[in-house]
Structure 1
Amino acid sequence: MRLGIMIGYAGRRVELPLALIQEADELGVYAVWAAEAYGSDAVTPLAWIGAQTKNIKLGTAIMQMPGRTPANAAMTAMTLNQLSGGRFLMGLGLSGPQVVEGWHGISYARPLSRTREYVEIVRTIFRREERLVHNGRVYQIPYQGDDATGLGKPLKSTLEAAPEIPIYLAAIGPKNVQLTAEIADGWLPIFFSPDKYDEIYKPHVEAGFAKAGVARDGTSKSIANFDIAPTVSVVINDNVDIAYNMLRPMLA
């Protein structure tokens, strides 16, 4: 087991616990994770943290897929990964209809297709083996709509290849959990209880592994080469009742 820190996202002002993060870095804590909703973004704080730490991994939990094109997300990931010396962990998620349609102004339709295509496009960009061409239900690259200029041509990232960047997916529902186990390097579960893993999640995770066949390292995909990184809320207080009441809204 490895430990991490979740700094979440900001309220009115972006204020990060830098001293705590730097101490965690010195103590060997594995990763610091940042989130986003419709205020502060998940990536900018990590860039700021990365410039002031040495070893701790920098993870997004999550970058909202509907809020960025796959190419833009890949550009961001490759840039921060280079600047941080290979410390970036790319956590992606769909968010929800309220934010996707109410904030980003796009349809929430076809969430599973969007996820599969998004990861495929990002990995193609990371590998940098060929120019990017994708014809899917959600994404067309180059764009070929009726209003296309016809000037768009397949491109390839100018940055060095970065196939090593791991991709984590946030997932709750059975189909999304199965898809995550199939195509991602790790899973960012929400409201996760290890005691319920075998009963609720294991069948879907194992089905995803079976569909994938092999992991990116060429070995059979299994729980041994699949990272599960749940967020755990912790309150430190001498009074158990006070601590529990602070967590109660998240446990309901």
Structure 2
Amino acid sequence: MTNWGITLPLTGVPLAAHRDLVRELPDLGYTDVWSAETAGTDAFTPLALASEWAPGLRLGTAIAPVHTRGPGLLAMQAATIAELAPGRFVLGVGTSTPTIVTGWNAVPFAAPYGRARDTIRFLRAALVGDKVTQDYETFSVSRFRLERPPTPPPPILLAALRPGMLRLAAREADGAITNWLAPSDVPTVRAELGPGRELVARIFVCPTEDAEAARGLGRMLISTYLTVPVYAAFHEWLGRGEALAPMHEAWAARDRAGAAAAIPDEVVDELVVHGSFERCRERVAAYRESGVDTPVISVLPTGADPLQLVRSLAL
């Protein structure tokens, strides 16, 4: 079976207005719906709706941060979606960023690697219904037991970019979730994750043949994301350090427009899929051919109806 995922909800579309589209997704060739969690909807509520609107879809969070919920609450929310979509839910967790964790949620961004590891270990026990009393390195839990453990428990994927997190995902989780990479980068990431683990990639797709408009939007997003230290280190590891150095220099000088303008066209074209619908589909398929198990499209705004864009990007 060929996995073909979509990120929901779509920008600018009310949550309830997704119902008809979600019901169509299986017939359009989509297999998966994945949510995100930054400052819009939470990661779980859209999946609860999708589980009722289209019971055949696989659902996943990409990602639920490990710091912003207590371990027990994270387990309860995961168990709820797993009960609504038995055997069709994937719990994606990750460290998120200091801005989201501390700046927006007033939680210390402490020991991200350890917190991710400990959260996965706790969830493994909690989601099978064990009573958990454990002093982990980054938190302690006393006598927690889910009242409604799901059957089966959901797989757990870890958001991972560089070797340390990818290897942690291989050891402790069922796979990894990544983003902001080109098809040519996938073998490097897959080599660290290894075989036998699912690799999910969120792919930013701007379906327009106006290349300059797509590149303009892509530059804005790249300068915003890839200046975050973890993404900067990711692309240094992938070999884009020299190409992105002028962007980093301008960003450090607080020249936001200059940072975006300094990103070479070839970097934008590597990291943001754009062009005709056919070309976009081919480019997304290239990720799968390079080693991604589940490509997940994230539709970027073009001025067209985003619901129709999703329909037109179907397999």
After TM superposition, the score normalised by the length of structure 1 is 0.78
- Kindly state the Cα deviation for residue 76 of structure 1 after the two structures are TM-superposed: 1.0
Matches within 5 A, 1:1-252: 1-7=2-8, 14=15, 17-128=18-129, 130-142=130-142, 154-198=143-187, 200-206=188-194, 223=195, 225-251=196-222, 252=263
What CA deviation, in whole Å up to 9, does each residue of 1:84-115 have, x standing for no partner? 23321111111111111112212112111101
CA separation of 1:243/1:161 partners in 2, compared to 1, >3 Å: closer, same or farther?
closer
CA separation of 1:90/1:238 partners in 2, compared to 1, >3 Å: closer, same or farther?
same
Tell me the distance in 1 between the aligned counterparts of 2:75 and 2:126: 7
Q: Unaligned regions of 5+ residues in structure 1, if any?
A: 143-153, 207-222
- Kindly state the Cα deviation for residue 203 of structure 1 after the two structures are TM-superposed: 4.8
Tell me the distance in 2 between the aligned counterparts of 1:16 and 1:250: 26
Corresponding residue for residue 252 of structure 2: none
Residue aligned with 1:51, SS: helix
CA separation of 1:86/1:203 partners in 2, compared to 1, >3 Å: closer, same or farther?
closer
Higher helix residue share: 2
The answer on whether the counterparts of 1:9 and 1:35 sit within 8 Å (CA) in structure 2 is no
Tell me the distance in 1 between the aligned counterparts of 2:31 and 2:118: 29
- Kindly state the Cα deviation for residue 35 of structure 1 after the two structures are TM-superposed: 0.7
Tell me the distance in 1 between the aligned counterparts of 2:55 and 2:183: 31
The answer on whether the counterparts of 2:64 and 2:93 sit within 8 Å (CA) in structure 1 is yes
What CA deviation, in whole Å up to 9, does each residue of 1:3-32 have, x standing for no partner? 100125767965653333221123342210
Amino acid at match of 1:134: Q
The answer on whether the counterparts of 1:10 and 1:40 sit within 8 Å (CA) in structure 2 is no
Q: Unaligned regions of 5+ residues in structure 2, if any?
A: 223-262, 264-315
Tell me the number of residue pairs that the alignment of Structure 1 and Structure 2 aligns. Answer: 222
Note the aligned Cα RMSD (angstroms). 2.4
The answer on whether the counterparts of 1:10 and 1:39 sit within 8 Å (CA) in structure 2 is no
Identical-residue share of aligned pairs (%): 27
Structure with greater contact order relative to length (CA < 8 Å, sep ≥ 6):
2
Tell me the distance in 2 between the aligned counterparts of 1:236 and 1:197: 22
The answer on whether the counterparts of 2:158 and 2:176 sit within 8 Å (CA) in structure 1 is yes
- Kindly state the Cα deviation for residue 63 of structure 1 after the two structures are TM-superposed: 0.8
The answer on whether the counterparts of 1:57 and 1:88 sit within 8 Å (CA) in structure 2 is yes
Tell me the distance in 2 between the aligned counterparts of 1:238 and 1:9: 20
Tell me the distance in 1 between the aligned counterparts of 2:175 and 2:202: 13
What CA deviation, in whole Å up to 9, does each residue of 1:136-186 have, x standing for no partner? 1211112xxxxxxxxxxx242222454541111111232112211221112
- Kindly state the Cα deviation for residue 227 of structure 1 after the two structures are TM-superposed: 0.9
The answer on whether the counterparts of 1:92 and 1:167 sit within 8 Å (CA) in structure 2 is yes
After TM superposition, the score normalised by the length of structure 2 is 0.64
Instruction: After superposing the two structures, state which structure 1 stretch, 62-71 or 22-31, moved more.
Output: 22-31
The answer on whether the counterparts of 1:125 and 1:156 sit within 8 Å (CA) in structure 2 is yes
- Kindly state the Cα deviation for residue 133 of structure 1 after the two structures are TM-superposed: 1.3
Residue aligned with 1:231, SS: strand
Amino acid at match of 2:133: V
